[in-house]
Structure 1
Amino acid sequence: MTSPFSITLQPGGKWSARIGKGKSITLTAAGDGANLSALLYDAFHPSERYNMPDSLKAQHTAFYTAGHVLMSDQGRVLASVTEDTVGWHDPLGGYTNRVGTDSKYGSTSYQQERNAWHRSGEENLVVELYRHNLTPRDLSTPVNFFSKVICELDGSMRYIPQETAGRSVALRTEMDVLMVFSNTPNPLNPSKDYPESAVTICVADAAPVLEDDLCVNHCGENRRAFENTWNAYALMRGAN
């Protein structure tokens, strides 16, 4: 067993790390209006990464909650959503950019406001990708934890406010993953106020995956993705 690790991202904050297989990552929002954007990659072969279309199609969903998994483009499970007191997490809304942030919240800069300036999701994610020898070409659609976005019958998407203060979601890593986080607004949130909710990330050892596991048994596609993942790691067992 390893000691738990915890870090708190203030509004506009960012963080990334390689996190080993079999860890539990608990995300907890301090206030309402939270939005934590997350990208996931195979920790040591980042050309394999989270695939939003396949994850949603395989699980017949347009949002994530307990029981859902985040699949890679190789049909494996990067992480599972094992617990959730929020109920709805957005996989569709994307991330904010500099133009949209300045337009909605007013133009700010580090030179004038220092750490109080309004960061965008795109800028934060790119900075963290560079730390791991990745580039803006490696950006993809993130999971926006704590945000609810619904799809209307006409194909448009609408942000729905939900209470997030004190609520949490837990992910279990099924592979060694590189996770990149940005505590920046959901681009579909119509509020003109830059969100002020901090989010705490706590990493600890996860409990073993049992035969009756909620995520494994959520649907047949999930089980097949888990089997692909287990088989890949079985072939690596004992390798130098």
Structure 2
Amino acid sequence: MTGLTESTFDPAQAVFRETVPAGEPFIRVVKKGEVFRILDLEGNQAVDTLFYNAENPDERYSATNTISSQGNIYLSTGTRLISSDGNAMLTITADTCGRHDTIGGACSAESNTVRYALEKRHMHSCRDSFLMALARWDNGLSKRDLSSNINFFMNVPVTPDGKLDFADGISDAGRYVEMKAEMDVIVLISNCPQLNNPCNAYNPTPVEVLVWDAASQ
């Protein structure tokens, strides 16, 4: 990985722009060659994300293959996001945050209960958002297709004894991560609603999604 890298793309030239409110899902197909950006509008906002091969959704993002191929548990510029079949799905081409998590997973009713308290079980979670998006899109994917996700902008240090620590984020307002699609991919996002740990500074906020087509490059 090469660390912090600015993008050369002009937001005014994007072929698609959409604000994703705090706690809401997003789903879209990004075509091969298109460039996809997630922009942290207000800072310190975790964005849980899954990727699927749009032609064959049984092939999807693999945290295990991505980590083993790059020898690093954190993602940044230069990281290739590898599929369950060993293929490159996207390449991170620009990153002004510098660290993204791929081992912390997504919050759910069950994890909110175990980590925090029984009364937290019914709080909205990223798993809920993923399922809402899949239900609205009606593309044949279901809860069986939810695998280990990326947490863009989320800071999850690994302690010396091998445990995960959900720490205060390192992103700030206006920081972004940008990826070039190496195949047609389904992008599934939960703009994290978590209120019980500092991954969203205890105050979930909106993000923006932008896409540039191959002709813009």
TM-score by length of 1: 0.75
Structure 2 CA distance for partners of 1:3 and 1:84, relative to 1, 3 Å: closer
- Asked if the contact 1:28/1:166 (under 8 Å) is kept, the reply is yes
Counterpart among 189, 192, 207 of residue 197 in structure 2 = 189
Equivalences for 1:75-224 in 2 at 5 Å? 75-101=86-112, 103=116, 119-130=124-135, 131=137, 132-161=139-168, 162-185=170-193, 189-190=197-198, 194-206=202-214
Equivalent position SS for 2:100: coil
TM-score normalized by structure 2? 0.82
Cα deviations by residue, 1:49-71 (Å, 9 ceiling, x for unpaired): 11110110110001000000110
State whether residues 96 and 176 of structure 2, in contact with CA within 8 Å, keep that contact through their aligned partners in structure 1.
yes
Assess, with a 3 A threshold, how the Cα gap between structure 1 residues 185 and 151 changes in structure 2: closer, same or farther. Answer: farther
**Are the structure 2 counterparts of residues 77 and 192 from structure 1 closer, same or farther at C-alpha, using a change threshold of 3 Å?**
closer
Does the 8 Å contact 1:146/1:164 carry over to 2?
A: no
Tell me if the contact between 2:110 and 2:121 (Cα under 8 Å) persists in the aligned partners: no
| More moved, 184-193 vs 133-142 | 184-193
| Alpha-carbon distance between aligned partners in 2 of 1:33 and 1:148, rounded to the nearest angstrom | 9
Deviation at 1:18, TM superposition (A): 1.5
For the 8 Å contact 1:185–1:194, the answer to whether it is kept is no
Larger Rg: 1
Q: Deviations over 1:37-94 (max 9, x none)?
A: 1100100210011111011011000100000011011111111100000000010111
Say what the alpha-carbon RMSD is for the aligned residues. Answer: 2.7
Greater shift in the superposed pair: 190-199 or 29-38: 190-199
Does the 8 Å contact 2:131/2:142 carry over to 1? yes
Is residue 34–residue 185 contact of structure 1 (8 Å, CA) maintained in 2?
no
Task: Return 5+ residue gaps in structure 2 as ranges.
Answer: 1-12
